[in-house]
Each structure stands twice: as structure tokens, then as C-alpha cells.
């Protein structure tokens, strides 16, 4: 089950993979799509319109789903959401547009693969009568081992296990009630399907065979999140889904010079996180580096962090928009990042310690998880970032040899995994393409 030599399928299929969100939400599924294409299938990725160039660079077909997610996160509402405020980022009208474009994207497909943010594709698969798979880089299948989106905290307590298991049904029910009327209208008026019951699809009496038992593919490592023993046989933890971007990347000379100096820099990157005053975070980073007498590489990302750096500080901090993580991370001493699932995966594979500055969603949980694994300091919530907190954390990760050794050991294990190839083989077996 290696990536270089997957078991050949008995026939070629047209597969549609639906994924929306940030770059970290889209890239792992493009990796999975590339693996399916290497196996001989025709793969279309339906993603936010701002990812067309990236998807096509992966040599995959592309269909746009509204909106431009970068512009959405950089909007006032997007910044409020990232800051921890309760806002409705996706309006009902925008949600309807996503349903409509998702339906169009799946026309003529043989297989649908959908993600947590495109779980409405379940209804499209039902209408088309095609097999479908749920794919995620976060555990979402009910388990007593840990609560919903709290995978850093495991338990063996019987009562807590019951509560943990119930948390998934509560989350599912709340989501369903939020969109129940809209989705049922979509089912009845557009898809010509009967409405789902008040409690949701889990409580259907006789669901169609193609959506009765949907296999779940999880793109993370069991060395990071062990597979819960109470998961059924149709749930697979395959290992991370990575794309090799390092082999084709041509770095600017200034970046090469920065990495070639005697003092190995610390990398700072916050991905798609946007903020109202990125110059504050830039200031804290520069001042923290001064305190610990270190150099840094700052990936500005969607938040434009680092775009305002004094000339006198430019020798200490090198600013660049983005660099492939698989090329850069193995060459730095540590990474200070937001704790997004994909960035965290890249740091883990590189085998270096982290300082996590979480903003929202699952990021605090990744921060806690890496701390419990002994490869990161305690996370520093974005609202508590200062030059002092950053400097103290950087000093720890650069000086703790036990932490660095644990990170290196875990990185070696992850680099040996073949997550994409295993996922492709699982898909083939479920579809009856191989024995």
C-alpha cells in the first residue's frame, strides 16, 4: 500500500471531491485527489473559487463553489469570527449557492467524497444514487474516548464515556436544527427527495443503501490521535494526506541566504488567520526574537502579518508571503503557528517543536494535544500574545532537548506513513475494485 505503487483498480471512475474553507482545509483533500488520479481515476475538486489555480496546479479538474474564502475571512465578519465572536459567516443565501454549485459539480460523477464543511453532499449522493465517502482531518465519528472536537482529552471513566459519546449527537442535532428547513426545502424542491425527520438523517427508518453506511476516512496519524476502540469497521485512520511541493519549489535567493546563516531561524506562520491590526502581532514577534537573540522567517499569509517591519529589523526577520511547508519546516528550528490541522501536520512531519497561538475552532485543541505529546509548550491564545509570552515559549522549545527529541521521533514515524495510498486502497476495496 505504498504511494508509488497503489493496487490498480479494475475500472476507472469519475470521482468528485467537495471541500471548502481555508488552504489548510483544501490541500489535504487535493492530496487525496492526486492519489486517486495516480490510481487511474478522473478527479474533480469542487472548492472555493479562490483555489482554482492551486487545484489545477495539482493537475486536477476544478469546479468553483462560492464564495472566495480568502475575501470572506478578510471581511469584517471573518475577522470577528476569528477573534472569537459569534457571527454567522455563511448566510442562508450563500449556503443555498453552495448547495446549487455542489449539485452542478456532481453531475455525471460515479463517486462523491465530501468533508465536514460540505456534509450537505450527502443529499446529492442520495439523489444521484452513487456511493459516497466522508473524509476529514479531524475525528468526527462518535466515540466515548473523547468529546466532540475535544480529542486532546481522553478518558476511561464509564460515565464520562457516555457523556463524550452523547456530545457528538448533540452537535449533530444543533447543526441540523440550524439548517433543517433550508436543507429540507432543497431536498423537496430541487432534488425531489422526501424531507428528513425532525431529528435528522441518523433517525431515518429506511435510508437508501448508498447512504445507509457511509465509510469514514480520517487523514491523521494514529501516532498522534490513536484510533478509538469503539469505532466500527467502516471507520479508517489512514495517516496524513500530504502533497510533495518541495521537489518543484524554487526559493528566492534571499530566503536561501537567510537559511544559510549560522543561526537557524524560527518560523512564524498563521495561515489563513486574519486580524484587524496585524502590525501588533508583527511587533510582538520582532521584539520576542530580540529578547531571545534569535532570527525569524515570517510567512505573512492571509493576515498580512509582517508586512510592516522596520528596515533596522529586516536582518532579524525575513518576511515572505508563503513557502511550501514541506520545503521550509525541516530547515528551521521551531514553528510558531496558529494550530490549524494542516499546518500542525506539516510541523509534526518535519519533526520539530511548536509554539501554538490558537485563534478559534479546533486550534486550541491541537495546541493542547501537542503539549500533551510533549512536543510543544502550553498554547498561547491569540488574545494573550505579547513579546514576553512569545519570548518565553520560544526559549523553551529551543532549549528543551527532551521536547526536541520527542518531536524528531514522532516526525520519523509520520514520514514512514503512506496515508494517501492507504486511503486510495480503502476506497477501492469499498467500491469492489480490488479484492
Cell of 112: 462523491
What residue spans of 188-337 are helical by DSSP H?
A: 209-212, 253-260, 278-292, 325-328
- Cα dist from 124 to 6, 120, 196, 362, 383, whole Å: 29, 7, 14, 27, 41
90-107 pLDDT, tens digit per residue, is 889 999 999 999 999 999
Strand partners, 235: 216
Number of H helices, E strands in the chain: 16, 12
H/E stretch holding 92: helix 92-105
Identify the pLDDT of residue 7. 61
pLDDT above 70 as % of the chain:
97
Q: Which residue has the cell 505504498?
A: 2
Strand partners, 62: 45
Is residue 65 within 8 A of residue 46, CB to CB? The reply is yes
pLDDT confidence of 2, banded at 50, 70, 90? very low
pLDDT confidence of 86, banded at 50, 70, 90? confident
Name the pTM for this structure.
0.95
295-349 pLDDT, tens digit per residue, is 999 999 999 998 766 656 777 899 999 999 999 999 999 999 999 999 999 999 9
Q: Which domains does the chain have, with CATH numbers?
A: 14-240+418-430 (3.40.50.2000), 246-415 (3.40.50.2000)
Q: Give the C-alpha separation, 263 to 110, whole Å.
A: 53
Amino acid at each position: 500500500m505504498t504511494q508509488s505503487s497503489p493496487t490498480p483498480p479494475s475500472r476507472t471512475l469519475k470521482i468528485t471531491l467537495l471541500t471548502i474553507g481555508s488552504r489548510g482545509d483544501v490541500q489535504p483533500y487535493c492530496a487525496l485527489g492526486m492519489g486517486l488520479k495516480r490510481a487511474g481515476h478522473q478527479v474533480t475538486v469542487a472548492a472555493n473559487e479562490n483555489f482554482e489555480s492551486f487545484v489545477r496546479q495539482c493537475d486536477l479538474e476544478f469546479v468553483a463553489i462560492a464564495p472566495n474564502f480568502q475575501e470572506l475571512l478578510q471581511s469584517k465578519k471573518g475577522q470577528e469570527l476569528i477573534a472569537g465572536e459569534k457571527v454567522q459567516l455563511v448566510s442562508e443565501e450563500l449556503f443555498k449557492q453552495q448547495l446549487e454549485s455542489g449539485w452542478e459539480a456532481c453531475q455525471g460523477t460515479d463517486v462523491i467524497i465530501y468533508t465536514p464543511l460540505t456534509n450537505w453532499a450527502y443529499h446529492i449522493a442520495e439523489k444521484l444514487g452513487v456511493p459516497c465517502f466522508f473524509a476529514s482531518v479531524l475525528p468526527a465519528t462518535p466515540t466515548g474516548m473523547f468529546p466532540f472536537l475535544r480529542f486532546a482529552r481522553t478518558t476511561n471513566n464509564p460515565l464520562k464515556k457516555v457523556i463524550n459519546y452523547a456530545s457528538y449527537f448533540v452537535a449533530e442535532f444543533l447543526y441540523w436544527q440550524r439548517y433543517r428547513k433550508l436543507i429540507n426545502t432543497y431536498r423537496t424542491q430541487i432534488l425531489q427527495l422526501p424531507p428528513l425527520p425532525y431529528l435528522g438523517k441518523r433517525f431515518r427508518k429506511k435510508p437508501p443503501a448508498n447512504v445507509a453506511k457511509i465509510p469514514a476516512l480520517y487523514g491523521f496519524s494514529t501516532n498522534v490521535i490513536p484510533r478509538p476502540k469503539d469505532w466500527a469497521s467502516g471507520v479508517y485512520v489512514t495517516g496524513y494526506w500530504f502533497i510533495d511541493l518541495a521537489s518543484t519549489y524554487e526559493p528566492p535567493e534571499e530566503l536561501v541566504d537567510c537559511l544559510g546563516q549560522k543561526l537557524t531561524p524560527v518560523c512564524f506562520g498563521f495561515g489563513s488567520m486574519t486580524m484587524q491590526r496585524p502590525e501588533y502581532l508583527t511587533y510582538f514577534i520582532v521584539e520576542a526574537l530580540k529578547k531571545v537573540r534569535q532570527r525569524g522567517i515570517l510567512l505573512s499569509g492571509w493576515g498580512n502579518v509582517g508586512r510592516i517591519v522596520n528596515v533596522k529589523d529586516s536582518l532579524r526577520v525575513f518576511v515572505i508571503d508563503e513557502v511550501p511547508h514541506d520545503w521550509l519546516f525541516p530547515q528551521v528550528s521551531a514553528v510558531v503557528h496558529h494550530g490549524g490541522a494542516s499546518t500542525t501536520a506539516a510541523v509534526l512531519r518535519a519533526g520539530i517543536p511548536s509554539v501554538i497561538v490558537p485563534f478559534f475552532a479546533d486550534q486550541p485543541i491541537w495546541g493542547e494535544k501537542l503539549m500533551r505529546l510533549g512536543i510543544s509548550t502550553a498554547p498561547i491564545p491569540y488574545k494573550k500574545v505579547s513579546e514576553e509570552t512569545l519570548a518565553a515559549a520560544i526559549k523553551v522549545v529551543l532549549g528543551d532537548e527532551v521536547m526536541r527529541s520527542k518531536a524528531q521521533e514522532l516526525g520519523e514515524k509520520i514520514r514512514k506513513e503512506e496515508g494517501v495510498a492507504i486511503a486510495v486502497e480503502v476506497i477501492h476495496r469499498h467500491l469492489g475494485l480490488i479484492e
